[in-house]
Structure 1
Amino acid sequence: MYDIENARQRDGDAAEDRSDRVDEIINRPRLGYGESDPIVGDDYSQYPEQPDDLTTPDARQFVTELFSSPLVTSIDDAIEETTPVANNRIIHREWREAFLKVVELFGDERPEDSGERDQNDDDSRLTELTDDYPDDMVTPSNALVVSNLYAEHGLSTEEIAEVFSDDGRNVKPDEIRATLRNAGLIQANESGDAESSHKLGGTSISAHDSGNTGVNINSEAVARDPSISVERDE
């Protein structure tokens, strides 16, 4: 069950006491330059800057570690991880030629071009974090799902935007903040964007001038959310 007060006090930051499982999912290495922590070494600044850099003796350890990663199943994967401009056809061809030359020079085993990865490596972070919800509910504007990621799993608004963007969408943290603000889990800022009615997947919370808050619960919407329980006073 959500710790609503704690969630409100975080104001969009990640929870300090979230589970190790969530940390592992969020910080898991992902293929692609700058997509996560680097697959090789501690910093992308240590990566070769030019294709010709791959053929130096100092680069052999980099290539060996890169090819041994379960995320790298082809030369194309290696290029995608090594350079931020892998989509440029000319640059892509230069890196491919350099990697093939490395294989010839150093005798390194070339990654299999099977395109097959371990299923756990390919799983979307969003899928793992929202597997209790129907696919059609998992959207950045669904307050039930976003509230669960924020209040239950302890993700920050930036992290939620990132996991929603894993499948190619370009979700901004401000979109997530707006959803959480409408759910009453983030305070409205001073620019006047407060709303009189906050909706949590069909549950409306209406604030009145008197300071009293009326809550109307859509039982059908709540029933679809596995993370919400309702306690009734006798």
Structure 2
Amino acid sequence: MSVVEEQMQQPAAPAGPMIRTLVSVAMLSGLLVVLTFHFTKPYIDENQRRAIEAALFQVVPGAVTRRDFLVTEKGVVPATEKKQPGDTLFYAGYDEKGKLLGIAANARAQGYANLIHLLYGYDPVCQCIRGIKVLKLAETPGLGDKIITDPAFVANFEALDVTLAEDGKTLANEIVTVKHGSKQNPWEIDAISGATISSKAVGKALNASAKALLPKLVPNIEAIETRSEEQVTGDR
């Protein structure tokens, strides 16, 4: 018998052990991923909570405590209830006496490189946005990131008008980003020259969030205007 014939007649290695090994490795890898997720999730959640709280105190000046709420089909309820699809989370900021100073809410829109995530502060007295804080950004260094560093752009949000229309169902004037140097109205955002896409993304994010949140929030603002001493000390 030739060498070639002997090689052809040799039985193939059984596939069973190899398949079992591959399955075991895959199961072990999956288990490690799940365990890692469950182990790190509390730390990730805590870091996110701290980041949100720090940002809230920036966009709601004077706030020293916060309380989380949901806008639901039933109205405004404490965020102790489980969030359902369609519910909107927002944060109320209070002074040391428990007086409501403002609301903080999330907003996001597509920028040049990726989604831009923001937290903005709403002042119910002036019905305006008092400040924004960029939570996540992947824009071009030196251009898109000017939405954080450019003083003139940041000044757009000292009192950006988000007054509701007479019917209370939408904004009286939509937030729009205009060409640099052409701002004439309090609901307009003066874009950054050379970073128009990022500037417009901020305007789109704020407009979409305010249009969705404020018509539901404003009619219920009295429900969150004051807090008891227990809430002030217990929710920090």
Q: Normalising by structure 1, what TM-score?
A: 0.21
Higher-Rg structure is 2
In terms of fraction of residues, the more strand-rich structure is 2
Q: Normalising by structure 2, what TM-score?
A: 0.21
